[in-house]
Amino acid sequence: MKKLTDILSEKIGAAFAGLDLPQELGEVRFSDRPDLAQFQCNGAMAAAKQAGRAPRDIATDIIAKIDKGDLIETLDIAGPGFINISLTQNALQNYVNTEIAGLGAALPENGQTIVLDYGGPNVGKPMHVGHLRSAIIGDTLRRILSFAGYKTLGDVHMGDWGTQMGMILMELKHQYPDWPYFDADFTGPYPEESPLSINDFEQIYPKASKACKEDEARAEEARAATVELQNKRAGYYALWQHFMDVSIAAMKENYAALNVYFDLWKGESDVHDLIEPMVAQLKKDGHAVKDEGALVIKVARNDDTKKFPPLILYKKDGAVMYGTTDMATLVERMNLYAPDKVVYIVDQRQHLHFEQVFRAAKQSNIVPQKVELTHAGFGTMNGTDGKPFKTREGGVMKLEDLIDMAFQKASAKIDAVNPESDFSDEEKNAIANAVGIAAIKFADLQNPRQTDYVFDLDKLVSFEGKTGPYILYQIVRIKSMLRKAGGFQKTDFTVDDNTQNLALLLAQFPNVIDGVVQGYTPHILCDFVYKLAQEFGRFYAANPILVEKDEAKRNAYLSVCAILEDTLSKCMELMGIDIPERM
């Protein structure tokens, strides 16, 4: 998938070089104003500064040097010295047919491995909407990166080893003191079946947390139980394993509902045994030092403009910290997968934590310098009141409740749009499910990752505007038209005045994928799909395809629609959004 902009940049760059100007100034990009120009090169401005000449003069010289060949239709100078470029319809058509049509297959492998960390649910606590953004953005990045040629590994990285575990264990001990799990003399075997279901577990954490808040003795007991669990006390460990099984089953259901997939079901507990040797080595190499009773790695640098507190490995009381586990997880990831990149798709509010971990990991060579560590942070999902999204009662919204709310809204919407539909209940439910999930996922993905956004379900399920359901609706329309057309003679993409804008948009696909990969920014793909769906809407309104008398033209336009359907569907697949046959 060679980019059109690269092909043009080479040509224009050569003209710059031919005038003894830096070749890279010939960089060409898709124009921000497609109504004025297809492509633009702004290099004459910078060149003018260097050469001490007027930018328009330089632009004139550049244009004179370019052999348009079969590729370029027009070259113009606009404003202070922008070079506007448009392609011949022939060149555009060739490009779309050779590079874009049939893009279903992933790009060739690039030999690079990337670990993506986008789960982070905490065992024992219900999954909430805070985990939603990680999952949606992370899984989409995994799909796009693997399409782009990376070997990807998505890790759920559960919070399964923290004090919440000790809190829950002790709450259960108070409720069921006779359970064998709490009897230090019990020699086993422990029951195979979990004594509690996921619903029971969900009741326990709030109680445990309340007890520990109100009573310091309970909090202390929970901390001690956490340490005992971490030392694998048999009964605690056996009960913890039940927890894990039951929780993981529930998490898997939640993630499956969102079409989110993980390659690795690992958690903080998996690296527990790596901590001690890691810390010993860090001490030996002088990276870990004592600081006010704690053991830390100092990560501040002289040129820092903000305060960088040290990364704490062991607290005064000997407890390990969030950062310790993240360091040990990097040890494990380097050992097992030797990735070229590790990306954390985690709330932006944890940014300082990740900067500390990354610095500590590089300073100590736990991670080689050339490996790229990135915190791809995201903003908060707010309610319509502008505050972090909550239930009506002000509690934390559970993920499955949110999904159900979207389903209900989508279902009502489908009824409103198709008052006389012949959908069976089963089909309608399937459609409402697809529409609800599309609404949630697209809403989350289309915002620039770092910005906060307002979660307004009524808007998100709308079939109009920049929403998931709107995109689905356009795709379903194309599908329905292709069905109605029955068999037709498939042709290549034909570029004429009616299809030119569509072709130009399609031609941006490689740039779009590259943009997402460079910045871990899926919203670029959403922008693209939205523009493409809108452009299809215009094309469809202006050209009554099914009733077209000229058979060659009808075939050509139906073929254009088929290529559009492929591209739009591919994009949705890259976001893990399913498309119904009808809606």
Q: CB-wise, 376 or 574, nearer to ligand ARG?
A: 376
Nearer to ligand ARG, 99 or 160 (CB): 160
Shortest spacing between CB 565 and ligand ARG, in angstroms: 37
Q: How far is CA 481 from CA 214, 270, 488, 554, 562, in A?
A: 64, 52, 12, 12, 10
Taking the least distance from each CB to ligand ARG, the nearer of 106 and 352 is 352
Which one, 179 or 261, has the nearer CB to ligand ARG? 261
**Minimal distance, residue 518 CB to ligand ARG, in Å:** 22
Q: Are 88 and 73 in contact (CB under 8 A)?
A: yes
CB 153 → ligand ARG: shortest distance, Å? 13
Q: In whole angstroms, how far apart are CA 194 and each of 181, 184, 238, 246, 534?
A: 11, 19, 10, 8, 52
Size of the site for ligand ARG (CB under 6 A): 8
CB of 346 to ligand ARG, least distance (A): 4
Whole-number Cα distances in Å, 280 to 231, 283, 346, 461, 478: 18, 5, 29, 54, 62
Token pair for 487:
């068999």
Smallest gap from Cβ 131 to ligand ARG, in A, equals: 7
Identify which of residues 278 and 512 has a Cβ nearer to ligand ARG in the complex. Answer: 278
Residue placing its CB nearer to ligand ARG in the complex, 328 or 562: 328
Q: Taking the complex as a whole, how short is the minimal distance between the CB of residue 120 and ligand ARG, in angstroms?
A: 3
| Angle of the 198-214 helix axis to the 234-257 helix axis, nearest 10 | 120
Burial track 196-214 (b if 16+ CB lie within 10 A, e otherwise): beeeebbebbeebbebbee
CB of 255 to ligand ARG, least distance (A): 15
Residue at shortest CB range from ligand ARG: 120
In angstroms, what is the minimal distance from the CB of 266 to ligand ARG?
Answer: 10
- DSSP-assigned states of every residue in 31-71: -S-TTT-SEEE-HHHHHHHHHTS-HHHHHHHHHHH---TTT
Report the residue from 99, 139, 270, 326 that binds ligand ARG according to the rule CB under 6 A: 326
148 vs 334, which CB is nearer to ligand ARG? Answer: 334
Minimum distance from CB of 325 to ligand ARG (Å)? 8
The SS3 assignment for 114 reads strand
Least distance CB 137 / ligand ARG (angstroms) = 13
Pairing state of beta strands 113-117 and 82-87? unpaired
Closest CA relative to residue 352, chosen from 309, 305, 292, 294: 309
**Residue 363 C-beta: closest distance to ligand ARG, Å:** 19
Q: Among residues 157 and 466, whose Cβ is nearest to ligand ARG?
A: 157
Query: Binders of ligand ARG among 151-170, rule CB under 6 A?
Result: 157, 159
117 vs 270 by CB, closer to ligand ARG: 117
Measured from the CB atom, the residue of 121 and 469 that comes closer to ligand ARG is 121
- Shortest Cβ distance from residue 162 to ligand ARG (Å)? 8
Contact 560, 501 (CB under 8 A): no
Give the separation between CA 140 and CA 525, rounded to whole angstroms. 10
Query: Which residue, 134 or 447, has its beta carbon nearer to ligand ARG?
Result: 134
Q: Give the SS3 label for residue 286.
A: coil
163-202 positions binding ligand ARG, by CB under 6 A: none
x/- letters, 337..366, toward ligand ARG (CB under 6 A): -------x-x--------------------
Taking the C-alpha atoms of residue 503 and residue 563, their distance in angstroms, rounded to an integer, is: 10
**Where is 537: in which H helix or E strand?**
helix 523-542
Q: Are strands 113-117 and 151-155 parallel, antiparallel or unpaired?
A: parallel
Query: Which sign does the torsion angle of CA 524, 530, 536, 539 carry?
Result: negative
Taking the least distance from each CB to ligand ARG, the nearer of 157 and 173 is 157
Question: Could you tell me which of 535, 536, 516 has the C-alpha nearest to residue 526?
Answer: 516
Q: Please list, residue by residue across 235-250, b when 16 or more beta carbons sit within 10 angstroms of its beta carbon and e when fewer do.
A: bbbbbbebbbebbbeb
The distance of closest approach from Cβ of residue 64 to ligand ARG in the complex, given in angstroms and rounded to an integer, is 56
Locate 494 and state its tokens. Answer: 């034909």
Report d(CA 343, CA 519) in Å as an integer: 11
- For residue 342, give Cα distances in angstroms to 115, 161, 329, 393, 548: 5, 22, 11, 38, 53
Phi, psi of 533 (to 5 degrees): -65, -40
* Residue with Cβ nearer ligand ARG (84 or 122): 122
Between residues 316 and 349, which has the closer beta carbon with respect to ligand ARG?
349
Give min distance, CB of 134 to ligand ARG, in A.
7
- The overall longest dimension of the chain from CA atoms, in Å, is 91
Rounded to whole angstroms, the Cα distance separating 567 from 564 reads: 5
Binding mask 103-142 for ligand ARG (x = CB under 6 A): --------------x--x-x--------------------
Alpha carbon distance 361, 370 (integer Å)? 12
* Short-list 154, 425, 379, CA closest to 266: 154
Which spans of this chain sit near ligand ARG (rule: CB under 6 A)? 117, 120, 122, 157, 159, 326, 344, 346
